Amino acid sequence: MTRTDEFERSIAYGEAALTYLKGNRTPAYPRNYELWYVYAAGFNRELNKAVNEALKRLGHLPEELTQRFYDEFLSPVRLSDRVGEVSTRVSRELDQIINLLEESGGNAESYGASLRSAADILGSAGTKQQIRTALEKVIAATVSMERYNSALEKQLKESRVQITELQESLEAIRYESLTDQLTGLANRKHFDQSLERAIDVAARRGEPLSLVLCDIDHFKKFNDTYGHQTGDQVLRLVGAAIKSTVKGRDLAARYGGEEFGIILPNTSLEAGVTVANQIRSAVMAKELIKRSTGESLGRITMSAGVATLRPLESRDSLIERADACLYASKHNGRNRVTSEAELDPSTSSAVA
């Protein structure tokens, strides 16, 4: 995507956000603008679903609902609060386990003392009654220790279950923070972090690293014609097609709007072009059906660009070269893949 395309798209989302603010008579505070901008862009599936349901029910979005939806779906505090809550619960469980183990140590020491006392009695016992008393003391201490160990085992099992559930909760939060809700692919944050790591690994190991950037053809026109809900359906369809094609160490992400990025570790330029064409074919093979009417809306096509990491190259430079290849695909008729090997100097300078 060129800077001009990105500028025009962001302005379109911004103008739509202002229209929503005016239509709902919502004060144009930054957080309210952010909510409607994200809604217009379709970046947050759950937010759009909640807003659409409220609009259907009420006809507009009251300010109190706007604030609630922002806090629920967009506020950066929300994720940190959830992580903090789970971390507190983990700490509580660990403290409980430590207390149990300390108590277990005290009981074991008490049991040892009981055994030593019984041994002393047996050593000096002169009658059957004294021997019996010593044995009864050993048996009573052993039964008590068995009961305590049984209770301790039960409590430790329960704590283990709790900690496993909390670990799963943290993993779910981590997954959510790195995943695009609409497509199920990695989000931009995950993409940026993963590309930095992949570049570092490729440089250290001397392996090739290819990057594919692809973009849905005529998506804005499609979105304007059929509406955001159908546009979301297109994005989900494309996400599923990409996910079914990308394997192993490769990472697919929703790079922004209708643009996607695929990181291909240990992959040559030629192999990267093959993957890009597989994605393009997988997307084009799916027919889009409008759910509300069953009407066929035809097939979706994608354009893609592929570049391979150069020595000492930065992340931004690699992205820029893949983006130049994507622009060339758009410029030369769409529904095609262009590799950096195909670019001529005039095309490269036009993109820059």
Diameter of the chain measured on Cα atoms = 110
Q: Is 276:269 a contact under the CB 8 Å cutoff?
A: no
Helix (H) or strand (E) holding 221: helix 219-226
Helix (H) or strand (E) holding 138: helix 128-178
Q: Is 250:263 a contact under the CB 8 Å cutoff?
A: yes
Residue type, 131: I
CB atoms inside a 10 Å sphere around CB 167: 12
Q: Which of 156, 54, 43 is nearest to 103 (CA)?
A: 156
Task: Specify whether 258 is catalytic.
Answer: yes
Helix axes 45-58 and 63-73, enclosed angle (nearest 10): 160
Q: Which of 242, 318, 327 is nearest to 277 (CA)?
A: 242
In the sheet with 302-308, reading across from the earlier edge strand, the strands are 251-256, 259-265, 209-216, 302-308, 337-339
Q: Is 280:302 a contact under the CB 8 Å cutoff?
A: yes
Q: Which of 69, 20, 22, 60 is nearest to 40 (CA)?
A: 20
The secondary structure of 56-125 as a DSSP string is HHHSS--HHHHHHHHHHHT-HHHHHHHHHHHHHHHHHHHHHHHHHHHHHHHHHHHHHHHHHHHHHHHHH-
Phi–psi pair at 208, nearest 5 degrees: -75, 155
Task: From the candidates 63, 171, 176, 258, give the one annotated as an active-site residue.
Answer: 258
Q: How far is CA 233 from the centre of its chain?
A: 20
Residues labelled catalytic: 258
